[in-house]
């Protein structure tokens, strides 16, 4: 039996003052990921809420498994309730965590997003991990929707208009990713 798909939801932290609609969309995606049997992978913040942690709340509402990757060496995160696994990456904010977070995913969904989200999307692009951008909430997700990161054109960022479309595409692309890169995906 193949392992469960690991879907990341990444987006703005609360200090970017995202819209309540973006938070509801992130929660909805987390819930849908859980209901489809996926594992939600998200950036576990230390000091405030984020669209990633909103996705975690949604995944728990949907009865799912959640994995929060945080920076530093401790498991002292902002939102402890509803997080099944906390992975401290040992690196500080500003680059290192994004590698651990993204490489744990079979597909990444971006929603809104500042510099951290841009970094996460770029890491996914470099690693050939499927990228989906939920449009309509600004930030880097909107800016990158439908585009390639560079002239290599490795993988286009899929533009999704609804949380449902984003999650559906993430699962479709994650399955293809698993088949391409997991040595035992067919067993």
Q: Which band of pLDDT confidence, cut at 50, 70 and 90, is reported for residue 184?
A: low
How many domains does the chain divide into? 1
187 in any annotated domain: no
* pLDDT greater than 50 at residue 138: yes
Burial class (CB in 10 A: 0-12, 13-18, 19+), 20: exposed
At residue 1, the pLDDT reads 78
186 in any annotated domain: no
Question: pTM for the complete prediction?
Answer: 0.95
1 in any annotated domain: no
69 in any annotated domain: yes
Q: Which band of pLDDT confidence, cut at 50, 70 and 90, is reported for residue 19?
A: very high
Establish how many alpha carbons lie within 13 A of residue 16's alpha carbon, considering only the half-sphere containing its beta carbon: 21
CATH number at residue 165: 3.40.50.450
């Amino acid at each position: 039996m193949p392992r469960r798909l690991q879907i990341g939801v990444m987006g703005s932290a609360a200090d970017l003052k995202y819209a309540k609609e973006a938070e509801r969309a992130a929660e909805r995606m987390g819930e849908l990921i859980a209901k489809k049997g996926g594992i939600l992978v998200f950036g576990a913040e230390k000091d405030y809420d984020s669209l990633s942690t909103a996705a975690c709340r949604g995944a728990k509402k949907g009865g799912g498994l959640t994995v929060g990757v945080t920076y530093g060496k401790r498991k002292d995160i902002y939102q402890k309730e509803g997080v099944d696994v906390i992975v401290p990456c040992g690196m500080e904010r500003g680059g290192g965590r994004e590698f651990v977070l993204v490489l744990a995913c079979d597909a990444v969904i971006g929603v809104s997003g500042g510099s951290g989200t841009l970094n996460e999307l770029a890491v996914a692009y470099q690693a050939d991990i499927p990228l989906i951008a939920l449009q309509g909430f600004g930030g880097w997700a909107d800016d990158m929707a439908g585009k390639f990161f560079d002239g290599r054109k490795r993988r286009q960022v899929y533009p999704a208009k609804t949380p449902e479309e984003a999650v559906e595409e993430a699962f479709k692309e994650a399955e293809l990713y698993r088949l391409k890169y997991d040595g035992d995906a067919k067993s």
